Amino acid sequence: MNIDTAIQAVRDGFSRTARQQQCRCRFCEGARELANEVERLRAIVDPIEKLREQEGGSVLIICPNPDFAGPNEAVEVCDEWTGWSRRRFTGDTLAEALAAAVKAREDTRETRRT
């Protein structure tokens, strides 16, 4: 079973029933927690895969810095669309920093098409 099939099974099966009935049994609570964790991880893994899809592209994940007054998370991307130099993107969460990088990539590609 691949991850997409597993996610869909959680969403479609016992998780939907648990949400509809607001069931609080251990099984249903576990299903909800699993579905939430999978979604959180997909918000990290999917953008990394998008940013790495071109041959030679790289994504550097910077260690969190919660003591800093600015954003807590940062990533650096080096790819054709960055001119093969590292470009830093930040966010309060790793998912936000990665989303900012994906948006910049899409914006750069759109600008080049026009």
DSSP string, the chain: --HHHHHHHHHHTHHHHHHHHT--SHHHHHHHHHHHHHHHHHHHHHHHHHHT-STT-EEEEEPP-TTSSS-SEEEEEESGGGTTS-EEEEESSHHHHHHHHHHHHHHHHHHHH-
User: Does residue 16 or residue 101 have the better pLDDT?
Assistant: 101
Q: Where are the domains of the chain?
A: 3-45, 52-113
Q: Confidence band (pLDDT; 50, 70, 90) for 111?
A: confident
pTM: 0.73
Instruction: Answer yes or no: is pLDDT of 13 > 70.
Output: no
16 falls in which pLDDT band (50, 70, 90)? low
Q: Which of 111, 1, 101, 99 is nearest to 43 (CA)?
A: 99
Give pLDDT tens digits for 58-107: 999 999 987 777 889 999 999 999 999 999 999 999 999 999 999 999 99
Query: What is the reported pLDDT for 47?
Result: 96
Residue 81's pLDDT is: 94
- With beta carbons less than 8 A apart as the criterion, state whether 91 and 101 touch: no
Tens-digit pLDDT profile for residues 28-42 = 777 778 888 888 899
DSSP 71-97: -SEEEEEESGGGTTS-EEEEESSHHHH
